[in-house]
Structure 1
């Protein structure tokens, strides 16, 4: 039976974090084992062993919790392995799904044109902007944007204005602080006309189609065609991922983001029992 790993509540460590409590309850009702891990300990360089101290079960496991840096996930994986627990998603698979450079090439025809840096220096940023030429773009790092700070830290009105673009990048870097991951990613701006749709994939098959967590009440279109996307996701060979899609102004569906399903948020309108059932469907 699959083991579900859930972050513990910070103030009540014997209980699951409130954000994931409904998934933990649904998993137990489905007959799954549930174990709690200390997320705060996982974020410390030497905290992985402490984080998994309450994991007593062995076997295959899936994590459902807060985002982890790739090196944190690697330490988590190693600590669990020493306890006889094997994460369904390996460290290499997690990084490929979690960081844009890991999945971009496979999805390049289906997602906005992008260029990125390694690190945060200006020369590399200017070079990445130059690869896209001129026009509008959106900025992020390998794992996250700052879209809620749209004009000051996400949107680049004109890539040919290098100084203005760098001001946005500098603000983005300031806001991301210690969470900044990998480098800057510059993505060509595409006009989108509808709310994003979040799709959930287990072993290369789409198991659920639902709204994005930011717009949980927006029902995805019934005629969403994943025929062109499905073989691409299958070839990636990733056990559990999400793919966020949005409709472009010309009527084509575009991939906005691919992420590891373990750390992708579930919209409040997607029933926990239905969600958990798909984790064990493969």
Structure 2
């Protein structure tokens, strides 16, 4: 198994500082470690250059910065030309990375959601009408702007069309060139706990810890992964994270599904633990 991590921008012979601990842990566990040029991966036609330092062959797992689905697909193809096969295929990555890819399989666990293709006003208004009334949260296929909550994330009344559109426009402005797919409207649910990030490999929960945004804060109510294991396992995905929070009625709800390769690891989970479960496949 090869661990692929981004190279440091200023010192390209070294791993990016954010992933250096995982690279060290992988080497200590006997894994090969190879560096990729993340900046090249994000440039059109740059995938070949991004993987030019890789010398090994065989199965690989990536631990690095988030990539758009089309960038990951180019990455996958460039690696295949070098006989390196990512554990997560390009199709699997898109399915888990973009909300429309996983929502229907997990809709019973997560807030009701509707979305558009593209960003025009008519499509947005139709999505608002489909969601109905009440509060909602806006995002795109891959990301919200929750740190701009009242400005670009929260819609107090989804049926107040002009006010909702102003928030949508601000969201798109802040996302800039990174905006992906279209608008997603999610019914607002009142969460009363910090998020728990769970790590699933081949359908089995291997790690549970805090969300990196609140890495010192775990809910007092213990999360039981067995309650959702059949559903997560049924996705057939090799390496994902699932973030859960307690709703006001004390029901655990899925906030986000993500590809494990580009999900941040909280400091409270040692890199050796993550590498150990990746090696144990």
- Both structures adopt the same fold (TM-score exceeding 0.5): yes
Cα distance in 2, alignment partners of residues 54 and 240 from structure 1: 25
Matched, 1:24 2:23: yes
Cα displacement string for residues 140-167 of structure 1 (whole angstroms, at most 9, x for unaligned residues): 0000000000011000000110000000
| C-alpha distance 189-222 of structure 1, shift in aligned 2 (>3 A) | closer
Q: How does 1:195-206 map to 2 (within 5 A)?
A: 195-206=194-205
**Structure 1 position 221, deviation (Å):** 4.7
SS in 2 for 1:236: coil
Q: Is the 8 A contact 1:115 1:185 kept in 2?
A: yes
**Structure 1 position 81, deviation (Å):** 0.2
Cα distance in 2, alignment partners of residues 178 and 162 from structure 1: 25
Cα distance in 2, alignment partners of residues 228 and 161 from structure 1: 37
Matched, 1:194 2:170: no
**Structure 1 position 220, deviation (Å):** 4.7
SS in 2 for 1:148: helix
Q: TM-score, normalised by structure 1?
A: 0.98
Q: Equivalent residue for 2:106?
A: 107
SS in 1 for 2:212: coil
**Structure 1 position 199, deviation (Å):** 0.1
**Structure 1 position 228, deviation (Å):** 2.8
Q: Equivalent residue for 2:146?
A: 147
Cα distance in 1, alignment partners of residues 220 and 271 from structure 2: 21
Q: Equivalent residue for 1:268?
A: 267
Gaps of 5+ in 1: none
**Structure 1 position 222, deviation (Å):** 6.8
Q: TM-score, normalised by structure 2?
A: 0.99
| Structure 1 ranges of 4+ moved more than 2 A | 219-223
Q: Equivalent residue for 1:248?
A: 247
Gaps of 5+ in 2: none
Cα distance in 1, alignment partners of residues 218 and 249 from structure 2: 21
SS in 2 for 1:115: strand
Segment of structure 1 superposing worse, 200-209 or 217-226:
217-226
SS in 2 for 1:22: helix
Q: Is the 8 A contact 2:137 2:185 kept in 1?
A: yes
SS in 2 for 1:255: strand
Matched, 1:80 2:79: yes
Q: Equivalent residue for 1:238?
A: 237
Cα distance in 2, alignment partners of residues 68 and 54 from structure 1: 19
SS in 1 for 2:253: strand
Matched, 1:215 2:214: yes
**Structure 1 position 280, deviation (Å):** 1.5
Q: Equivalent residue for 2:135?
A: 136
Q: Is the 8 A contact 2:241 2:259 kept in 1?
A: yes
**Structure 1 position 223, deviation (Å):** 3.3
- RMSD over equivalenced CA pairs, Å: 0.8
